[in-house]
Structure 1
Amino acid sequence: MKNSRTDKIIEIARRAGVIRPRDLDAYGIPREYLRRLCDKVVLERRSRGIYALADADLTEHHSVALASKRVPKGVVCLLSALRFHRLTTQAPFEIWMAIDRKARLPKAEGVPLHIVRFSAAALTEGVEHHQVEGMDVPVYCLAKTVVDCFKYRNKIGLDVALEALRGCLRERRCTIDELWRYAKICRVANVIRPYLESLS
């Protein structure tokens, strides 16, 4: 019985990338098994309440995956989304996550977060889902991310927004039409118009 429980935990962790104590509840496995497997160096505690196989391959997006697990209704945005899409050389210390304007502020011990509040279509439009270390990671598409940079230019800097805009157009990773669509959704059409006109 003990081995079958251990095998089940390993199977869950391998399939999902990480495992949380509540993931064991559906299988009737006591949470104490997580500590035992950490003692045997089968699992590692990556942050509070999040465990992964000790021999799991970590990717460059490991902290983004952990943040997405910690904030399940959040979306990776702004500087972290730019980094995810490889459109900036900056490596932000915090993971930038968008949540609903009315949502409770998440507690994410062990994962440094920078929370930004979006609402309505600005929150739900342009979300892509990527698999990172077996976990589903929602990230805004590149066009939406660039537009968000203009919306939050006072927080991240206009120079970052302009660099992102030039980069995505130069590399043909999004179109003017895509940028314009998200500019209307995010209500920054008047802000971004002169920059789009000068680059088109």
Structure 2
Amino acid sequence: MSLIALASAFTLNDARAVGLRKDQVYEMLDHGEIERIGRGVYLRPDTVDPSWATLAGATAVQPTATLCLTSALVHHELSDAIPFATDIALPRGTRAPAGFEHAAWHSFNPATFLTGRDALEVGDGLNLAIYSAERTIVDCFRLMHQEGNDVAYTALRRWLSRRGNSASALLRVAASFPKALPRLRLALEALL
């Protein structure tokens, strides 16, 4: 069976489904044809940009995996941070995949999990999920005690300075997060 029949990021079960045995997968791993990204999760390195590898592997195991917080801010060019790990959100109650060295797992409320969640096509037919810039800013204000004041305020300033962005669009997203809304309103009043 050919490696081409596999997705860019796949699990051992996916490999079995296309007719590969476990020993064949391990042989491909030994020959450098694939890389292990997590426990039972593999990547065809020639098909995925390394910056998306962790999220692609997480999505192979948990399709709800979504790029969030600092990692999403960097993607949206709202932060200059260099994250030590890829921030990935899962709905609360979902088990995080094991063995991912470069992932920081976050549990978000299932009732608001889809708010601001966008699809992102990163090549070779690979579709991943990321939170919109607005949702990410709201999350930074909501989780300010973890992410830090400076991260939230810097992202908000950069976002407001871009043409076409409006405070009303941000407040529409924030309406789903009542605890973040007062902080965000105060910040908008100070900056506008």
Per-residue CA deviations over 1:106-141 (Å, capped at 9, x if unaligned) read 133133333322224421111001123543211110
> Equivalent residue for 1:197?
189
State the 1:149 CA deviation: 0.5
- Counterpart CA distance in 2 for 1:124 and 1:185 is 11
TM-score by length of 2: 0.86
State the 1:56 CA deviation: 4.0
Contact 1:74/1:99, CA 8 A, preserved across alignment: yes
- Counterpart CA distance in 1 for 2:77 and 2:90 is 23
Supply the AA of the counterpart residue of 2:140.
Answer: C
Distance 1:40 1:105, change over 3 A: closer
- Counterpart CA distance in 1 for 2:164 and 2:22 is 45
Distance 1:120 1:50, change over 3 A: closer
Supply the AA of the counterpart residue of 2:71.
Answer: S
Q: Structure 1: which 5+ runs fail to align?
A: none
Supply the AA of the counterpart residue of 2:95.
Answer: L
Residue 150 in structure 1 maps to residue 147 in structure 2? no
Quick one: percent identity of the two aligned structures? 27
> Equivalent residue for 2:158?
167
RMSD: 2.2
The structure with the largest helix share of the pair is 1
> Equivalent residue for 2:76?
85
- Counterpart CA distance in 1 for 2:114 and 2:174 is 14
Distance 1:167 1:27, change over 3 A: same
Q: Rg: which structure is higher?
A: 1
Supply the AA of the counterpart residue of 2:102.
Answer: P
SS of equivalent residue, structure 1 residue 167: helix
- Counterpart CA distance in 1 for 2:38 and 2:123 is 15
Distance 1:179 1:111, change over 3 A: same
- Counterpart CA distance in 1 for 2:158 and 2:22 is 47
Distance 1:40 1:87, change over 3 A: same
Supply the AA of the counterpart residue of 2:181.
Answer: A
Q: How does 1:92-111 map to 2 (within 5 A)?
A: 92-101=83-92, 103-111=93-101
TM-score by length of 1: 0.83
> Equivalent residue for 2:5?
12
State the 1:95 CA deviation: 2.1
Task: Give the 4+ runs in structure 1 shifted more than 6 A.
Answer: none
Aligned partner (choices 16, 19, 22) of residue 28 of structure 1:
19
Distance 1:71 1:57, change over 3 A: closer
Contact 1:149/1:160, CA 8 A, preserved across alignment: yes
Aligned partner (choices 105, 115, 118) of residue 115 of structure 1:
105
Distance 1:96 1:45, change over 3 A: closer
